[in-house]
């Protein structure tokens, strides 16, 4: 009897070990929600890249990442990550350089390629971070709406980001009165932006999209050129399209970001989080001449 138990235990351990090794190193034909929930962050970190070929893993699932914004030039992205504590990471997609911004749970957007708006949700404070020289400048919050509109009208540059209006003058680093931030009224994004237009406030361009030409487009199957699939994701992503955010072109139209939205799996009556990576799929070099960037 004892020999039988030892034998059964040995088979169980061997089966577990084989399952662990083969899944970690991408030997399964398709993604398995159960295996992902069990092994996703138990596997060696280097094996994650193997599992997600042909993608490039730009943010590991184990950092619980979320894509916040991409820069106007498509070279940088902002990611909310969480390892030891919540932080924001500014990732250079060209060379992989990462700058970590420790603001806890925060919102973050690009105003320009180097100028970021970062807000501490816990403290209710907002800052402009200039990545070109490392300076951090706290914004002046104007609570009186009509005064805010008048002040913003006279600002040299004004942006609208997720319900927030940001205005600065060229001397904003030395003069607190040259920077302002306020909440814009309106229940929808269109209403909020219309309220700025009504008050004669001209906004800086805050939406940049890369639209490849000559029939190049991306979906959950991969990157297509007309009717030809030139890069296949190979990840069975189309089995649950509702779990993925929209694809986003970056690097001048030479790559596409795929963000798999975090979801949970119920195991033995318990809800188990299943963190997902942020992935980059590159256009093959021979097809890149068909791309162009259009702000």
pLDDT of residue 295: 37
Residue 238: predicted pLDDT = 42
Query: Residue 172 domain-assigned?
Result: no
DSSP helix, strand, coil percent of the chain (3-state; round to 5): 25, 35, 40
Contact criterion met (CB below 8 Å) for 86 and 80: yes
Q: Which residues partner with 185 through β-bridges?
A: none
Instruction: Kindly report the pTM of this predicted structure.
Output: 0.80
**CA-to-CA separations, 83 to 65, 102, 276, in angstroms, rounded:** 9, 12, 14
Range of the domain at 222: 216-290
SS3 18: helix
Identify the segments of the chain with pLDDT beneath 50.
Answer: 238-239, 241, 292-295
pLDDT at 240: 52
pLDDT of residue 207: 55
Q: Which value, to the nearest 10 degrees, does the dihedral of the CA atoms of residues 140, 146, 149, 153 take?
A: -110
For residue 4, is it within any domain? no
For residue 246, tell me if it sits in a domain.
yes
Question: Cβ(42)–Cβ(20) under 8 Å?
Answer: yes
User: What pLDDT digit, counting tens, does each position of 63-93 carry?
Assistant: 889 899 999 888 999 999 887 778 899 999 9
Does some domain include residue 24? no
Q: Nearest-CA neighbor of 119 among 75, 182, 194?
A: 182
Q: What is the mean pLDDT of the chain?
A: 80
CA 207 to chain centre: 15
Classify residue 262: in a domain, yes or no: yes
Find all residues with CB under 8 Å of 14, minimum gap 6, and list them: none
How much is the pLDDT for 294? Answer: 41
Helix (H) or strand (E) holding 145: helix 145-153
**Residue 188 is assigned to a structural domain of this protein:** no
pLDDT value at residue 22 = 73
Whole-angstrom distance, CA of residue 224 vs CA of residue 216: 6
Which pLDDT score is estimated for 78? 93
The total domain count for the chain is: 1
pLDDT in tens, 54-66: 899 999 988 889 8
């Amino acid at each position: 009897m004892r020999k039988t138990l030892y034998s059964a235990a040995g088979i169980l351990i061997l089966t577990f070990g084989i399952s662990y090794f083969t899944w970690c190193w991408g030997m399964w034909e398709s993604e398995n929600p159960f295996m992902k929930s069990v092994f996703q962050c138990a596997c060696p970190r280097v094996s994650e890249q193997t599992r997600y070929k042909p993608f490039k893993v730009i943010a590991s699932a184990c950092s619980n990442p979320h894509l916040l914004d991409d820069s106007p030039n498509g070279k940088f992205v902002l990611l909310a990550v969480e390892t030891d504590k919540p932080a924001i990471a500014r990732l250079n997609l060209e060379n992989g350089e990462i700058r970590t911004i420790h603001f806890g749970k925060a919102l973050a957007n690009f105003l320009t390629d180097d100028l970021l708006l970062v807000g501490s949700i816990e403290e209710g404070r907002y800052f402009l971070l200039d990545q070109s020289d490392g300076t951090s400048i706290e914004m002046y919050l104007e609570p009186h709406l009509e005064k805010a509109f008048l002040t913003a009208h006279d600002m040299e540059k004004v942006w609208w980001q997720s319900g927030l209006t940001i205005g600065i003058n060229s001397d904003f680093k030395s003069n607190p009165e040259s920077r302002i931030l306020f909440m814009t009224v309106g229940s929808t994004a269109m209403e909020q932006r219309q309220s700025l237009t009504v008050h004669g406030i001209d906004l800086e361009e805050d939406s940049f999209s890369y639209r490849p030409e000559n029939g190049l487009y991306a979906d959950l199957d991969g990157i297509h050129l007309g009717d030809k699939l030139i890069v296949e994701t190979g990840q069975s992503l189309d089995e649950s399209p509702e779990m993925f955010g929209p694809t986003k072109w970056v690097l001048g139209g030479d790559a596409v970001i795929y963000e798999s939205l975090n979801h949970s799996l119920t195991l033995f009556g318990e809800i188990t989080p299943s963190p997902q990576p942020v992935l980059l799929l590159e256009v093959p070099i021979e097809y890149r001449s068909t791309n162009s960037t259009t702000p």
